[in-house]
């Protein structure tokens, strides 16, 4: 019973955010609000790990984050609950929208309402970015900021896939950790 | 073209689409417009407008729209499953690796570095949405600035910081206020 309730909560949370927010990253804000602060299923520290994992995986980021948090909370069933939650609303909404295409596309009020929601999404993303930034720069701040700036420049200026960035960063991290190990052995 | 073709085309997109929605759009465009010729440029442009207007991850929206156009509801379902299946499998493998090795110092170092990339990716999306919202979707010029955008963003941010209000409510509130303001003025 307890398990069913948890599965339903996982489904409900991801469903509600997916049916309202336009950006996949908005889901981070809700996951932090519900799973970390309200239910305390995992810590903020763990959440940042999950986000990093989700972004190192191809596919819709919202699906990846939901899937990972669902799996970590309640195993395979939890993962299925969150993935259904996140994938169902766009599927249903788009099916309806394609039927009423002309009514919705030309509608000024729908557009103004959606545009207003964008402001909220901006605030949510800013909150997420600041939260993550504080968390990441707690340890080795200089290194983190340099990696952040270089990654940002790569994303904005170069037209290559993020895949190469992920690989490069993993190699950088391994080299860094080996150097630190060697240094501590010498001392 | 059969349902399986749709499934496989979107599985390919699902594997290739790294780094969030905006990185995914050119990949969808290539697969749908050029490789398979399922849509014209005009139709793809309409799809982008719909993506902006409808909730949910952009990749799933696009998949549903294309699938719907080609084969109706079964097509939409196949396209959606196609684009999330590879993501699910790969995330699952990554989570299992992470769980097994998360105590290792090399793994800690990798996660710390990837977290920095994750901030950069979100910041990049934020910048795009922020500019779009601030200038009302038009070109970047002083005349195009949406006067209500910045105040609403700041107020939403402050409410989010100070109180544990559900982010969904804040978003819907922003939509409603924007609608009211435009109706009154």
The pLDDT value recorded for residue B43 is 79
pLDDT in tens, B133-173: 888 767 777 777 778 888 889 999 998 888 777 777 888 88
**pLDDT above 90: percentage of residues in chain B:** 16
Cβ-defined contact of B126 to A51 (cutoff 8 Å): no
- Option in B54, B116, B179 nearest A148 (CB): B116
B contacts of A24 (beta carbons < 8 Å): 20-21, 57-58
| Nearest residue in A to B111, CA atom | A49
- Min distance A84 CA to chain B CA atoms (Å): 10
pLDDT of the residue at A81: 94
The residue ranges of every structural domain in chain A are 2-136, 137-187
Numbers of helices and strands, H then E, in chain B: 7, 0
Taking CB atoms and an 8 Å limit, are B112 and A139 in contact across chains?
A: yes
Q: Residue A136: what pLDDT?
A: 83
Is A5 near chain B, with CB under 8 Å?
A: no
Q: Do the chains contact at B57 and A90, CB–CB below 8 Å?
A: yes
If asked whether residues B97 and B124 sit together in one domain, one would say no
Which of A100-109, A137-146, B80-89, B102-111 has maximum average pLDDT? B80-89
Substitution target from A52, A84, A106, A119 for chain B, most B beta carbons within 10 A: A119
Indicate whether B160 and B119 sit together in one domain: yes
Q: Which residue of B has its CA nearest to A156?
A: B124
Contact B21, B59 (CB under 8 A): yes
Could you please report the per-residue DSSP string of chain A?
Answer: -HHHHHHHHHHHHHHHHHHH-SSTTHHHHHHIIIIIIIS-SS-HHHHHHHHHHHHTSSS-HHHHHHHHHHHHHHHHHHHHHHHHHHHHHHHHHHHHHHHTHHHHHT-HHHHHHHHHHHHHHHHHHHHHHHHHHHHHTTSSHHHHHHHHHHHHHHHHH--S-HHHHHHHHHHHHHHHHHHHHHHHHH-
Domain boundary, last residue among B74, B101, B128? B101
The DSSP call for residue B32 is: I
A-chain CB neighbours of B22 within 8 Å are none
Looking at B71, B86, B101, the residue that finishes a domain is B101
What pLDDT was estimated at residue B129?
Answer: 82
Q: Which pairs count as long-range contacts for A11-14, CB under 8 Å and 24+ apart, including other chains?
A: A11/A81, A11/A82, A11/A84, A11/A85, A12/A85, A13/A82, A13/A85, A14/A66, A14/A70, A14/A81, A14/A82, A14/A83, A14/A85, A14/A86
- Comparison of pLDDT for B41 and B175, the residue scoring more: B175
* CA A158/CA B165 separation, integer angstroms: 38
CA A115, CA B135: separation in Å to the nearest integer?
Answer: 11
A168 touches chain B (CB under 8 A): no
The per-residue pLDDT for A116 is 86
State how far residue A10 is from chain B, nearest Cα, in angstroms. 15
List the one residue out of B157, B164, B159 whose CA is nearest residue A37. B164
Show which of B76, B101, B126 is a domain's final residue. B101
Q: Residue B54, SS3?
A: coil
Shared domain for B66 and B114, answered yes or no, is no
Q: Are residues B10 and B90 located together in one domain of the fold? A: yes
Q: Encoding tokens for residue B70?
A: 């080609």
Task: Say what the ipTM of the complex is.
Answer: 0.81
Asked whether residue B90 falls in the same domain as residue B162, the answer is no
Q: Do A119 and B173 touch (CB under 8 A)?
A: no
Mean pLDDT by 10 residues, chain A (187 residues): 88 87 78 85 87 86 89 91 91 84 76 84 87 84 90 86 87 90 81
Inter-chain touch B164–A33, beta carbons under 8 Å:
yes
C-alpha to C-alpha distance for A35 and A82, rounded to whole angstroms: 12
Taking the Cβ of residue A80 and every Cβ of chain B, the question of whether any pair is shorter than 8 Å is answered with no
Q: What is the pLDDT of residue B41?
A: 79
Q: Are B126 and A122 inside 8 Å of each other by CB?
A: yes
Asked if residue B170 and residue B147 are part of one domain, the reply reads yes
For residues B87-116, give the mean pLDDT: 87
Residues B97 and B109 reside in one and the same domain: no
Number of domains in chain B: 2
d(CA A63, CA A42): 18
* Residue from the list B64, B105, B124 with its beta carbon closest to the beta carbon of A152: B124
Whether pLDDT at B79 is above 80 = yes
List the domain range (segments joined by +) for residue B115: 105-184
What is the sign, positive or negative, of the torsion defined by CA atoms of B109, B112, B117, B118? positive
pTM value is 0.81
**Nearest residue on chain B to A31, alpha-carbon basis:** B167
């Amino acid at each position: 019973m307890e398990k069913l309730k948890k599965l339903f909560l996982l489904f409900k949370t991801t469903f509600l955010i997916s049916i309202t927010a336009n950006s996949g990253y908005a889901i981070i804000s809700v996951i932090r609000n519900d799973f970390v602060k309200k239910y305390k299923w995992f810590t903020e520290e763990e959440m940042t790990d999950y986000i990093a994992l989700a972004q190192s995986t191809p596919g819709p980021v919202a699906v990846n984050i939901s899937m990972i948090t669902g799996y970590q909370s309640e195993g395979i069933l939890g993962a299925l609950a969150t993935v259904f939650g996140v994938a169902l609303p766009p599927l249903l909404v788009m099916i309806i929208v394609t039927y009423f295409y002309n009514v919705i596309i030309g509608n000024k009020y729908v557009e103004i309402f959606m545009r207003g929601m964008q402001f909220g999404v901006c605030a949510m993303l800013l909150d997420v970015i600041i939260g993550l930034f504080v968390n990441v720069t707690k340890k080795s701040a200089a290194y983190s900021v340099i990696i952040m700036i270089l990654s940002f420049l790569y994303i904005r200026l170069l037209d290559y896939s993020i895949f190469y960035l992920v690989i490069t960063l993993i190699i950088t991290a391994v080299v860094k950790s080996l150097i630190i190990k060697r240094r501590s052995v010498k001392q | 073209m059969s349902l399986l073709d749709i499934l496989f085309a979107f599985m390919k997109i699902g594997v290739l689409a790294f780094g969030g929605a905006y990185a995914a759009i050119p990949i969808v465009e290539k697969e749908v417009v050029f490789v398979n010729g399922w849509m014209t440029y005009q139709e793809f442009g309409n799809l982008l407008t719909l993506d902006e207007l409808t909730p949910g991850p952009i990749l799933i929206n696009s998949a549903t729209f294309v699938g719907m156009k080609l084969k109706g509801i079964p097509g939409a379902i196949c396209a959606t499953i196609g684009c999330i299946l590879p993501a699910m499998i790969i995330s699952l493998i990554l989570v299992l690796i992470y769980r097994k090795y998360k105590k290792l110092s090399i793994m800690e170092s990798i996660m710390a570095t990837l977290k920095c990339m994750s901030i950069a990716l979100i910041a990049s999306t934020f910048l795009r949405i922020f500019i779009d919202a601030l200038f009302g979707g038009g070109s970047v010029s002083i005349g195009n600035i949406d006067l209500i955008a910045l105040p609403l963003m700041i107020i939403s941010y402050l409410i989010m910081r100070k109180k544990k209000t559900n982010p969904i409510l804040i978003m819907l509130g922003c939509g409603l206020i924007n609608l009211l303001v435009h109706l009154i003025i």
